[in-house]
Chains A and B, each alone.
Chain A
């Protein structure tokens, strides 16, 4: 990666790129670069995978533990709404 000047320039944009939030011309430029740079392609793939793993892990929202919920409702003087 160190031998590619373009790689440095594109690194800052990769996060937007994986979100699909990059303007078209820069997107095309990155895609063209990725076709010829295996290292950058691996960085993009593993970056995308990293973000996707966090999204998957956070999709399941653990409920507040019962005791914490109970104390919260009491503190807010809403314990008559505790189900």
Chain B
């Protein structure tokens, strides 16, 4: 994770002693990551703002109980994730659970799209349209896969850290990450295959 510097500079002792200045530095160091995670989980700026505020209110309230065994960022991600999942459950009580086993219907992992689109120019893949596609594909993942993907591939946590945040074994994290990535690959492949076909039709 790219927060080593921030974390080293923060004093847990000062935070636990109630030093407001140190807490402001904690907020400054991690609010952008927490806000991004909440935004991608909830897909609604107002809800993401609520989660951002709740995360730091809870962190402020419970910092004395933080044992320092995990990185402080992992602890913040855990609070934020729980808040966001609770929020989603309130909205869609029957649909949101990260605890249930990941069902794999027959053929779920079977790649359907077998076209090599890696040759497309980076400017095209990372254009605003390309980025929009990345966002839309991730947004469509089921919650139990999405949260693992967001923590691992967007926020850059290690497999073990994602396991700590979600109370999942490393094997479970890897299985969910694999399913998420394969689905995203499928989505992107479908889109770029169509695009490559269109381009070649235009040329001929």
Contacts and interface: CB of A to CB of B under 8 A. Distances in A.
Interface residues of B, number: 47
Given A15-B174, A75-B57, A76-B23, 9 more contacts: A15-B177, A15-B181, A46-B189, A54-B134, A54-B153, A54-B184, A62-B36, A64-B52, A75-B53
A14 B154 CA distance: 19
A55 B45 CA distance: 22
A26 interface: no
A61 B45 CA distance: 16
- For the residues of B in contact with A, the DSSP-based class is helix
B36 A61 contact: yes
Contacts of B35: 64, 68
B114 to A, nearest CB: 5
A55 to B, nearest CB: 7
Contacts, number: 113
Interface size class of A (residues with CB under 8 A): 35 or more
Given A75-B57, A78-B20, A46 B178 contact: no
A1 B189 CA distance: 16
Contacts of B52: 64, 68, 72
A12 interface: yes
6 contacts: A11-B109, A12-B175, A42-B115, A43-B111, A46-B185, A72-B49
Nearest to B184: A50
A21 B170 CA distance: 12
